[in-house]
Structure 1
């Protein structure tokens, strides 16, 4: 399990997975139904990225998300 604590780490994770799958940003954008600019900004950790689109990109890459509270329970 990989723990992501902020937008920058999320972008790094998405970029690494995209490259592992040998996809270009353009290909990932087309498969996810988002713009190339959005993928670029997401990978660079832009804070104002829309969460719904970020989830679409993660779903396309097969990245699942688990949310835990500070107390340890989801």
Structure 2
């Protein structure tokens, strides 16, 4: 996973839900520019906002630690 692949997931899910960038931005409480940058894979976006956009789309985020870590 990297910022480009995450952006592609957001783009595809937004389109699957038939949302415009402005609609997603309004629903998530972020600016349109943030959605544009997120979908483009900008690597320096604020994590909390990214997570909020993902939650708005209904996406789950799972982090799996390396084997042997607790």
Q: TM-score, normalised by structure 1?
A: 0.89
Q: Which runs of 5+ in 1 are unaligned?
A: none
Match of 1:18 among 14, 17, 21: 14
Higher relative CO (CA 8 A, sep ≥ 6), structure 1 or 2? 2
Question: How many correspondences in the alignment?
Answer: 70
Q: Superposition RMSD on alpha carbons, in Å?
A: 1.4
How far does the alpha carbon of each residue in 1:47-69 deviate from its partner, in whole angstroms, 9 at most, with x for none? 10110000110010000011011
Following the alignment from structure 1 to structure 2, what is the Cα–Cα distance between the partners of residues 26 and 72? 43
1:8 equivalenced with 2:1 (yes/no): no
Q: Which runs of 5+ in 2 are unaligned?
A: none
- Quote the residue 1:47 is aligned against: 43
Following the alignment from structure 1 to structure 2, what is the Cα–Cα distance between the partners of residues 70 and 39? 31
Following the alignment from structure 2 to structure 1, what is the Cα–Cα distance between the partners of residues 3 and 38? 8
Following the alignment from structure 1 to structure 2, what is the Cα–Cα distance between the partners of residues 73 and 27? 40
Q: Kindly report structure 1 stretches of 4+ aligned residues shifted beyond 2 Å.
A: none
